[in-house]
Structure 1
Amino acid sequence: MALAKERYLSTKKKTNKWIQIRANWELYVLIAFPVAYFFIFRYMPMYGVQIAFKDFTPSQGIWGSEWVGFEHFQRFFDSYNFEQVLKNTVFLSLLLLLIAFPIPIIIALMLNQVAQFRIKRFIQTAIYAPYFISTVVLVGMVYVFLSPNSGLVNHIIVAFGGDPILFMAKSEWFRPLYIFTDVWQNTGFASVIYLAALAGIDPHLHEAAVVDGANKWQRIRHIDLPGIAPTITILFILAIGNLMNIGFEKAFLMQTDINVDTSEIIPTYVYKMGIQRAEYSFSAAVGLFNALVNLVLLIVVNRTVKRLNGTSLF
């Protein structure tokens, strides 16, 4: 009797599940496309990760290539530029996290306090527009504006009695220029997420705070910041999980033979070793090392944040 009842409940549960799927089939069709995208372009290529542990040659294929284990990883760790590449990547990533991450939060909080609708929309559009500029065009603008002969910046420096600066030929200028352009291009897009989170805060909280005599700073501190704290936490975890994946295109385009000591990061190093020198197994090993570091950082930070305030990705 108990077994029959258990079978009946199991069959009923499956029937209800199929009824729900049929009732919401449009949603399943919509989600099928991103699932297929991630499966085809994100998961299936993982099959090729094994070349990081082989001496891969295109003529022999992945399965036919000789297995060498961790030889390529050891070669990367023992290479003369391992410390420099890793230091450049970590240092630039931390600077981006410390500088570029909080600026959109500040911008969103400031825009949320603007009472004039037209002024708010104008500022929001002005800071959002650079996001649509391609990286190639952005770097081209940087070269034009910072040209030692015809650049606007150097003309201003000379007008104030200074000497022209070779920005793209000096190693110490690579990181400031990279961070400045990143902030200018991506702050508007990132602030939209925080503005959306601020829009979800109950306006009655602000009304009650005004009645109690709270000023704007107090309302930001005790209402707005706690209201968007979960959003900040999630985006911070994602930023940590993507810490080592600095944009390859901009770093490669801004890189010169003179500033390579600070501009050579793991993504550009992988490109040079894998594409230019055709060392596919070695570049795959370096890329896999980079991905594993990101994965470890993501898991550690996610668990830490979850224990502290209960907000996490998984």
Structure 2
Amino acid sequence: MVVLLLFTYIPLLGSVIAWMDYVPFLGFTGSDWVGWDNFTALFQDSAFWSAVWNTLQITFLQLLLFFPVPILLAVLLNTVAMPFARRFVQSVIYLPHFLSWVVIIALFQQIAGGAGVINRFLITHGASPLDIMTNPQIFKLLLTTQAIWKDAGWGTIIFLAAIAAIDQGLYESAVIDGAGAWNRFWHVTLPGMRPIIVLMLILRLGDSLTVGFEQILLQRDAVGPGAAEVLDTFVYYNGVIDGSWGAATAAGLLKGVVSLFLVLAANKLAHRLGEEGVYRR
């Protein structure tokens, strides 16, 4: 609670910069108030809308391709009968989560970069090399692939716990009734996991506009801001690098408001579907 108070809630007071022509050397009291000018300038900035569009595209790809992977991994791991084999597989797929993005990007560069293993193999066998790490057209898919490799295994922890909480008597009854593996998954496992799936989906929507600042920052120069600029990097380059503190704060504030709206809307939808969501009615 102390950490949240010091590093999350108290810094929210700094959002007042969004309505100021903020100069760090003058502080809050010495900087001029400009009203909604920062927001007006932001909405007229084509770079801002490009960052919004890139963020939404990456968000959609991650929801479509990344979110189901931990669920499928948890279901597959639950079918492994040997405890030693299950623990070994879990350890292997958890490990990338503890590596920094610097290490992850370096590994992908060594494998799929211009002088990586894949291109060296292709060149050796007379084929043309592939442009993977510096291709703006597939950059968003590359980001999603990296995120899946790094964090999908770690995401299985919660879903494995949800599966473990399902009453085993339901599986026994299903087997007696003649249900096969698919029917047991569809009528027992999936309904048992549904509350956790809905909860995690709501939380993911709330954080959906945060698509990996460090991961993208490390690769932005390779593909250009047209393909890699997202809201977080837009705030960083406009605020920290260029000194446009007011406009950058306004962009970050808008991102927070939209994220809050997504959580509230998703939670309301969960209530309509009969789930508790993040909080009850």
Report the TM range for the smaller structure's normalisation.
Answer: over 0.9
Is 1:248 matched with 2:213? yes
Tell me which stretches of 4 or more aligned residues in structure 1 moved more than 6 Å: none
Query: CA, structure 1 residues 160+201, in 2 after alignment: closer, same or farther (shift >3 Å)?
Result: farther
Find the aligned partners of 1:168 and 1:208 in 2 and give their Cα distance: 51
- CA offsets 1:75-95 (integer angstroms, 9 cap, x no match): 111012232111101001110
- Superposed, 1:96-245 pairs within 5 Å as 96-149=62-115, 151-159=116-124, 161-245=126-210
1:58 and 2:53 are equivalent in the alignment: no
In 2, distance between residues paired with 1:312 and 1:148?
46
1:4 corresponds in structure 2 to none
Aligned partners of 2:169 and 2:125: how far apart in 1? 52
Aligned partners of 1:289 and 1:311: how far apart in 2?
27
Shift of 1:164: 1.2
SS at match of 2:218: helix
Higher RCO (CA-CA < 8 Å; seq separation 6+): 2
- Name stretches of at least 5 consecutive residues in structure 1 with no aligned partner: 1-34
Q: So what's the TM-score if we normalise by structure 2?
A: 0.95
Quick one: distance in 1 between partners of 2:43 and 2:236? 17
Return the alpha-carbon distance in structure 1 between the equivalents of residues 125 and 98 of structure 2: 34
Secondary structure of 1:178's match?
A: helix
Change (3 A) 1:193 1:171: same
What is the RMSD of the two structures over their aligned residues, measured on CA atoms? 1.4
Q: d(CA) in 2 for partners of 1:253 and 1:59? A: 30
Give 1:283's match in structure 2, choosing from 245, 248, 253: 248
| Shift of residue 257, structure 1, vs aligned partner | 5.3
How far did residue 137 of structure 1 move? 0.9
- Deviation digits for residues 236-291 of structure 1 (CA, Å, limit 9, x no counterpart): 00011111111100001011254321111111111111111111111111111111
Match runs of 1:39-118 below 5 Å: 39-118=5-84
Kept after mapping to 2: 8 A contact 1:171/1:260: no
Per-residue deviation, 1:64: 2.6
Choose the corresponding residue for 1:303, options 268, 273, 277.
268
Aligned partners of 1:170 and 1:259 also within 8 Å? no
> For each residue in 1:117-152, what CA deviation from the matched residue of structure 2 results, as whole angstroms up to 9, or x when unmatched?
222222111111111111111111122222323x11
Question: Is contact 1:168-1:256 (8 Å) kept?
Answer: no
| Percent identity (aligned) | 33
Alpha-carbon offset, residue 311 of structure 1: 1.9
Letter in 1 for 2:155: A
Deviation per CA, 1:129-181: give whole Å up to 9, x if none: 111111111111122222323x1121233355421123232201211211111
**Partners of 2:81 and 2:223 in 1: CA distance:** 49
For normalisation by structure 1, the TM-score amounts to 0.85
| Aligned mates of 1:74, 1:60 — CA distance in 2 | 23
Among residues 237, 249, 254, which one is paired with 1:272 in the alignment? 237
Report the CA distance shift for 1:146/1:257 in structure 2 as closer, same or farther (over 3 A): closer
Write the letter of the residue equivalent to 2:46: Y
